[in-house]
Structure 1
Amino acid sequence: MQFVPFEDGIEVKGQTVKAVVDGFNTFVVLGSAYLLDEGIGTPARNGLVNLELEGWYPQKSWLLCLQQIGKQLGDGLLMQSGMAVPRNVALPEGIHDIHSAIKAVDVSYHLNHRKNGRPMFDLETGRMQEGIGHYGYEPVPGQRKIICLCETPHPCAFDHGVLTAMAQRYEVHARVVHDEKQPCRKRRGDRCTYVITW
């Protein structure tokens, strides 16, 4: 299901939150207003939001912001915001092709969230905390295809954007398609399935 945190007390790094502003392109004041309406960041004189990029914000507020954007402006802006995430967030090392990029999405997702004051992925130990769901990675043998099951509280259009940006960073002509035959968080499912081809 979309927009509902899996656990209380989860926080999102400011770099990830900034993707909302970037997703609005030239309408950054509007993107800023959505964040400010949910108590994320502080207002600047020019109408933009001040965000601490290394700071942390409540996931619940972040999801409410995405929900309002989707309700009032539609999936297009949610997808654009998702596409801005890989430009803003910390990514693990060792990404060199589309396979390592899609595999790294789940690690990056956990690096940019924290629980009980600690990032949900420890780069030194490789340990991942549960509580925010996952981005799956399932390569199809012998084909230029990856199946990605997304079990996150994000809207499906947002995750579609995240996966599209990551895939196209390493394969310019990569295509990400939401599998409409599978469960969907928009239809109260617990996950969405995306098929990535190139």
Structure 2
Amino acid sequence: MQFVPFEEGIEVKGQAVKAVVDGFNNFAVLGSAYLLDEGIGTPTPNGLANLDLEGWYSQRSWLLCFQQIGKQLGDGLLTQIGMAIPRNARFPEGVRDIYSGFKALDVAYHLNHRKNGRTMFDLETGRMEEGIGHYGYEPVPRQRKIISLCETPYPCAFDQGVLTAMAHRYESNARVVHDETKPCRKWRGDRCTYVITW
């Protein structure tokens, strides 16, 4: 299901939160207004949300921000915000192609969230904390195809944007399609399935 945290007390890194502002492009003040309405950031004189990129913000508030954007402006904008994530969020080193990019996506997801004051992925030990779900990675043998099963509290359209931006970073002709034959978080499912081809 969308917009509902899996656990209370989860926080999101400010660098990732900035994707909301970037997703609004020339209308950054409007994106900032949604963040500020949920208590994320502080207002600047020009109407933008001042975000501490190294700071941490409530996931619940960020999800409420997405919910309001989706209700008032639609899925297209949620997809745009998702497409801004790969250029804003922290990623592990060693990503060099579409396969390593999608394999690293779940690690990056956990690197940009924290629980009980600790980042949810430890790069030194490889230990991952549970509590926010996962971005799945299943390459299809002998095909230019990856299946990604996304089980997160984020909106379906946002995740499709994240996956699309990741795919286009390495394969400009890539397509990301939501598998309509499978459950969808938008319709109260617990996960969405996306098919990435290039």
For Structure 1 versus Structure 2, the TM-score category normalised by the shorter chain is: over 0.9
Aligned runs of 1:127-146 on 2, under 5 Å?
Answer: 127-146=127-146
Query: What code does the residue aligned with 1:147 have?
Result: I
The answer for the alignment partner of 2:10 in structure 1 is: 10
**Are 2:87 and 1:87 equivalent residues in the alignment?**
yes
The 3-state SS of whatever aligns with 1:109 is: helix
Query: How many percent of aligned residue pairs carry the same amino acid?
Result: 82
Query: What code does the residue aligned with 1:120 have?
Result: M
The 3-state SS of whatever aligns with 1:26 is: helix
Q: Deviations over 1:129-180 (max 9, x none)?
A: 0000000000111110000000000000000000000111011111000001
Query: What code does the residue aligned with 2:23 have?
Result: G
The 3-state SS of whatever aligns with 1:27 is: helix
The answer for the alignment partner of 1:48 in structure 2 is: 48
The answer for the alignment partner of 2:147 in structure 1 is: 147
Q: Deviations over 1:102-153 (max 9, x none)?
A: 1111000000000000000000000000000000000111110000000000
CA distance in 2, matches of 1:160, 1:9: 25
The answer for the alignment partner of 1:178 in structure 2 is: 178
Q: CA RMSD in A?
A: 0.4
The answer for the alignment partner of 1:36 in structure 2 is: 36
The answer for the alignment partner of 1:195 in structure 2 is: 195
- TM-score between both structures, scaled by the size of structure 1: 0.99
**Are 2:74 and 1:108 equivalent residues in the alignment?**
no
CA distance in 1, matches of 2:125, 2:113: 17
Query: What code does the residue aligned with 1:142 have?
Result: R
The answer for the alignment partner of 2:163 in structure 1 is: 163
Query: What code does the residue aligned with 1:63 have?
Result: L
CA distance in 1, matches of 2:54, 2:89: 10
**Are 2:100 and 1:97 equivalent residues in the alignment?**
no
CA distance in 1, matches of 2:43, 2:59: 19
**Structure 1, gaps ≥5 residues long:** none
Shift of 1:23: 0.3
CA distance in 2, matches of 1:13, 1:140: 32
Query: What code does the residue aligned with 2:127 have?
Result: R
CA distance in 1, matches of 2:34, 2:191: 26
The answer for the alignment partner of 1:119 in structure 2 is: 119
The answer for the alignment partner of 1:76 in structure 2 is: 76
The number of aligned residues is: 198
Shift of 1:190: 0.1
- TM-score between both structures, scaled by the size of structure 2: 0.99
The 3-state SS of whatever aligns with 1:104 is: helix
Shift of 1:89: 1.1
Shift of 1:5: 0.2
The 3-state SS of whatever aligns with 2:63 is: helix
Moved over 3 A (4+): none
**Structure 2, gaps ≥5 residues long:** none
The answer for the alignment partner of 2:24 in structure 1 is: 24
CA distance in 2, matches of 1:62, 1:125: 29
CA distance in 1, matches of 2:104, 2:26: 29
The 3-state SS of whatever aligns with 2:25 is: coil
